[in-house]
Amino acid sequence: MEITTNLMLIYWFLCYTLFLSLFIVSGIRALQKIEAEKYHFLMILSFALLMINSTLYTIIEIKSNVVDFILQMLVMAGICLGIYSIPAFAHNLSDKNPKYKIIIDTLKYLALLLWFTNLINYIKFKRIFIFISIYIIYFIVILITSTIGIFSSKKNKNNNRIFENNFYITYISRIGILSIFFVPLFIIIDLFGGFGFKPISILIQYKFRTFPMFFLFWSIIYFSSIFNFNKTKLIYNSLNVINKNNLDLSIENLNKYLLSPREIEVLQLLLSGLSYKQIASSLSISLATVKTHICRIYEKTKTNSKIELINKIMKE
């Protein structure tokens, strides 16, 4: 029994340590004004609020009504923040369709409404079905957003290569798969105690919960995605430094790829090291137009990435 208890302590400590690292790194990236990371940090914060509540109820027995009230409000704040931040994060990585923006704004006000509804319910009515209903809405939002995120990321990988330098594509797909897998486990084991199934009941007695494992895998996915992204970025930067002077980006040389004058301008700026936003600003065109031009450049040059494009121009 002592061994099992020690293993559970190691399990909880490892999960918390990695998740705290995830929280700190995401916060630092958000402060660096990485737009998508702001919503990502809010999403992590929502889960952190949930984790605090669930952990304290698991480890210690809450007897104080005041402490119980504070924890209940924190967990509901986490749930309601998640209802808004999870779709907002996914929307930030999409083409930002105005119709979806309306949905995101609606979810923001719905989240506030649900939080105040829970507050009134806790103080006056204490109806458990209201709390459960908000939880169900939360899980539905996670499952829908995760499913859409998986299919969207696959579509972007197959049809839209403009995200080659963006680690969020692989990241959001993996998190989506992780969420779809863990949400049912969380409901069955953490919320309903395995419905009395003996092996699960024994695990629960030893303070085992599935949500720390979710945070453990989430943290691993996040850090591995950042590592791979930075490694790719380093390769691009190295190529830019080493091969910049060896690239012939003259109009005469690029005309052989049957590029339009505008596509040649975009290509020259891209290989000079400018970002998509900087190219859009430089040419006074929209970001979507820049992305379209870059996709056509890849198609006409029969390449799939910036590295292939540089190599092709150098060889020919």
pLDDT tens digits, one per residue of 221-246: 988 888 776 665 555 555 554 455 55
Considering the domain architecture, whether residues 109 and 191 belong to the same structural domain is answered as yes
Considering the domain architecture, whether residues 173 and 217 belong to the same structural domain is answered as yes
- The residue among 105 and 306 whose pLDDT is bigger is 105
pLDDT of residue 42: 93
Q: Which two tokens stand for residue 77?
A: 């704040």
Domain membership of residue 122 (yes or no) is yes
Q: Domain end: 234, 267, 293, which one?
A: 234
CA separation, residue 206 to residues 1, 52, 60, 215 (Å): 9, 18, 13, 19
Domain membership of residue 306 (yes or no) is yes
pLDDT of residue 284: 87
pTM of the model: 0.68
For 77, residues 6+ apart whose C-beta sits below 8 A from its C-beta are: 46, 49, 115
Mean pLDDT of the chain: 81
Considering the domain architecture, whether residues 225 and 122 belong to the same structural domain is answered as yes
Considering the domain architecture, whether residues 276 and 302 belong to the same structural domain is answered as yes
Considering the domain architecture, whether residues 26 and 154 belong to the same structural domain is answered as yes
Considering the domain architecture, whether residues 117 and 258 belong to the same structural domain is answered as no
Domain membership of residue 164 (yes or no) is yes
Q: Domain end: 204, 234, 264, which one?
A: 234
Percent of the chain beyond pLDDT 90?
15
CA distance 49 to 79: 8
CA separation, residue 314 to residues 41, 100, 243, 261 (Å): 41, 42, 8, 20
Compute the 3-state secondary structure of the chain and give helix, strand, coil in percent, each to the nearest 5.
85, 0, 15
Burial of 283 (0-12, 13-18, 19+ CB in 10 A): middle
pLDDT of residue 217: 93
Q: Domain end: 203, 234, 265, which one?
A: 234
Task: Using the predicted structure, report yes or no on whether residue 1 has a pLDDT greater than 90.
Answer: no
Considering the domain architecture, whether residues 283 and 163 belong to the same structural domain is answered as no
Domain membership of residue 141 (yes or no) is yes
Considering the domain architecture, whether residues 228 and 86 belong to the same structural domain is answered as yes
For the CA atoms of 174, 176, 177, 178, the dihedral, rounded to the nearest 10 degrees, stands at 80
Residue 303 pLDDT class (50, 70, 90 cuts): confident
Pick from 52-56, 180-184, 207-211, 287-291: least confident: 52-56
- The residue among 297 and 229 whose pLDDT is bigger is 297
For 182, residues 6+ apart whose C-beta sits below 8 A from its C-beta are: 210, 211, 213, 214
Residue 57 pLDDT class (50, 70, 90 cuts): confident
Encode pLDDT of 154-184 as tens digits.
Answer: 555 444 444 444 567 678 778 888 888 888 8
Considering the domain architecture, whether residues 259 and 229 belong to the same structural domain is answered as no
Task: Using the predicted structure, report yes or no on whether residue 253 has a pLDDT greater than 70.
Answer: yes
CA distance 313 to 292: 20
Domain membership of residue 239 (yes or no) is no
CATH number at residue 300: 1.10.10.10
Percent of the chain beyond pLDDT 70?
84
Considering the domain architecture, whether residues 96 and 164 belong to the same structural domain is answered as yes
Domain membership of residue 66 (yes or no) is yes
Domain membership of residue 240 (yes or no) is no
Considering the domain architecture, whether residues 129 and 66 belong to the same structural domain is answered as yes
CATH number at residue 133: 1.20.1070
pLDDT of residue 62: 72
Task: Using the predicted structure, report yes or no on whether residue 309 has a pLDDT greater than 70.
Answer: yes
Query: Which residue range forms the structural domain that includes residue 276?
Result: 247-315
Encode pLDDT of 270-296 as tens digits.
Answer: 877 777 888 888 888 888 898 888 888
Considering the domain architecture, whether residues 16 and 89 belong to the same structural domain is answered as yes
Q: How many domains does the chain have?
A: 2
Domain membership of residue 241 (yes or no) is no
Encode pLDDT of 90-149 as tens digits.
Answer: 887 766 667 778 889 999 999 999 999 999 998 988 888 898 899 889 989 988 888 876
